[in-house]
Amino acid sequence: GGRLVLITSFLGVVPLPGLATYTATKAALEGWAAAARMENIVPVSTVVDGFIRTGLTDTDGHYHKPGWPYKRSVGPGGLQQTWMDAFDTQLDEHTGAVGRAIADRYPRHRYVVGWDATLTMGACWLFPRWLTHLFINGLYDHFG
């Protein structure tokens, strides 16, 4: 008996413009995990991350590349940069959640990491999905 821990993102639930491929892969992992749990294939937990400062989220490095098409969401003053400055999930929070997902005797289905992911996922649980999308896209329009 083993267990599977998948790393996903709140963007797999509430997408942002300019991140379609990333969003699609994370949404696919969330969907597969839910189906695997229903079918009792293997115990599955997901770790839902917020923005973590890595090479992928290095907005300054991407923003200054010639022809970078997503300046509105990731450039200086863009939603991703503003979001990361406000919340900035630390890598040790992520690794701690992965460790708990592996070691917990009774693991949860989902471990949410970071204030940004917690707020977004909480909104998804409390409000209709269309309202959450409206709110997140409103933030995007405001900061974009």
Beta strands in 22-133 (DSSP E): 44-49, 110-113
CA gap 94, 142 in Å, rounded: 29
CA gap 142, 38 in Å, rounded: 39
Question: What pLDDT tens digit does each residue of the chain (144 aa) get?
Answer: 688 999 998 888 888 777 788 889 999 999 999 999 999 888 999 999 887 766 665 555 554 555 544 445 555 555 555 555 555 667 788 888 999 999 998 989 999 988 878 888 888 888 887 787 777 777 666 655
Tokens describing residue 77: 């003053």
CA gap 121, 144 in Å, rounded: 22
Non-local CB neighbours of 26 within 8 Å, separated by 6+ positions: 8, 9, 11, 12
